[in-house]
Amino acid sequence: MSLVAGSGPLSAARAGILHPPVDGDMVYVEPHPRRVRAMRDGRTVIDTDRVVLVHRRGRPLSYAFRPADVAGLPSQPVPEAPGFVTVPWSAVDTWFEEGRALVHYPPNPYHRVDCRRTTRRLRVTVAGVPLVDTADTVILFETALPPRLYVDPGHVRTDLLTPSTTTSYCNYKGCATYWHVRLGGTLVEDAAWSYPDPPPESGAIRNLIGFDETKVDLTAELPTPVRVMELT
């Protein structure tokens, strides 16, 4: 995310423009002075702070290590970083960065989550029945992603929500729990979600509810991005 994915500055769908123009696939490699550990079968198989990050378009962010620090693990050289190799994420059981357990990929130093209380209006309906209609919202800005509105459960027809067994994880917002919308004979699965225990940077959306605009009728008062040609 951030640099080479989404609408990041080195992505294929960047939101802004670069001067002078830069085209084609790009790889950015940088030092990452944090302690990275990995466990497999109850043993520590990586423990080093000699780490670099590899930002590669179309691929998840990855760590790269000195070969001596990952001896015995499958690895692949990084052409853009001579003397460093990557280790498949699935080659170990658990990854840690400075004591924090990670899921899916390393946290990106260029990825930011910014939550602000706002008066932007959110209206959500299902089959014509309002679930939410309020201007008491929290807007979440997340790097390279469109902004999104979250709302306190007190403004939601929670009597129409039923818990789902679905969960998901984000390195920047934590573990999400989901809700179905049940309205008479209509069931809209996983139409809403919340983060009961987000990390500190996302604490403002703790237990607030977001809605999937592809599954409900949603109208949100969101910022209109400046068009790129207006910057030239």
pLDDT score recorded for residue 143: 86
- Which pLDDT tens digit goes with each residue over 174-232? 999 999 999 988 999 999 999 999 998 899 999 999 999 999 999 999 988 766 555 55
Q: Are residues 90 and 167 in the same domain?
A: no
Q: Are residues 134 and 192 in the same domain?
A: yes
Whether residue 4 lies inside any domain: the answer is: yes
Hey, what amino acid is at 218? L
Hey, what amino acid is at 74? P
- Residue given tokens 């760590």 in the structure block: 63
Q: Does residue 129 carry a pLDDT above 60?
A: yes
Domain ranges, residue 59: 1-109
Query: Could you give the count of Cα atoms lying within 13 Å of 121 in the half-sphere of its Cβ?
Result: 3
Q: Are residues 138 and 45 in the same domain?
A: no
Q: Are residues 90 and 24 in the same domain?
A: yes
pLDDT score recorded for residue 231: 53
pLDDT score recorded for residue 205: 98
Whether residue 231 lies inside any domain: the answer is: no
Q: Tell me the C-alpha to C-alpha distance, in Å, between residue 168 and each of 21, 25, 172.
A: 37, 30, 12
Q: Are residues 214 and 118 in the same domain?
A: yes
- Which pLDDT tens digit goes with each residue over 74-107? 999 999 999 999 999 999 999 999 988 998 889 8
Whether residue 232 lies inside any domain: the answer is: no
- Residue given tokens 């790129």 in the structure block: 228
Measured distance CA(58)–CA(152) in Å, rounded? 35
Q: Are residues 105 and 119 in the same domain?
A: no
Q: Are residues 182 and 146 in the same domain?
A: yes
Percent of the chain clearing pLDDT 70 (strictly above): 97
Q: Are residues 118 and 211 in the same domain?
A: yes
> Minimal CA–CA distance to 114: which of 152, 92, 81, 141?
141
Q: Which residue has the higher pLDDT, 65 or 59?
A: 65
Q: Using DSSP bridges, classify how beta strands 36-40 and 43-48 pair: parallel, antiparallel or unpaired.
A: antiparallel
Final residue belonging to a domain, choices 80, 109, 138: 109
Q: Which residue has the higher pLDDT, 16 or 197?
A: 197
Q: Are residues 177 and 193 in the same domain?
A: yes
pLDDT score recorded for residue 187: 95
At 55, phi and psi to the nearest 5?
-100, 110
Whether residue 226 lies inside any domain: the answer is: no
* The pair of three-digit structure tokens given for residue 153, joined into one six-digit string: 């459960």
Whether residue 178 lies inside any domain: the answer is: yes
Q: Are residues 207 and 129 in the same domain?
A: yes
Residue 158's CATH number: 2.170.150.40
Q: Are residues 16 and 120 in the same domain?
A: no
- Give the total number of structural domains in the chain: 2
* The pair of three-digit structure tokens given for residue 210, joined into one six-digit string: 């977001």
Final residue belonging to a domain, choices 77, 92, 109: 109
Q: Are residues 145 and 174 in the same domain?
A: yes
Name the pLDDT band for 19 (thresholds 50, 70, 90): confident
Final residue belonging to a domain, choices 109, 125, 155: 109
Q: Does residue 5 carry a pLDDT above 70?
A: yes
Whether residue 230 lies inside any domain: the answer is: no
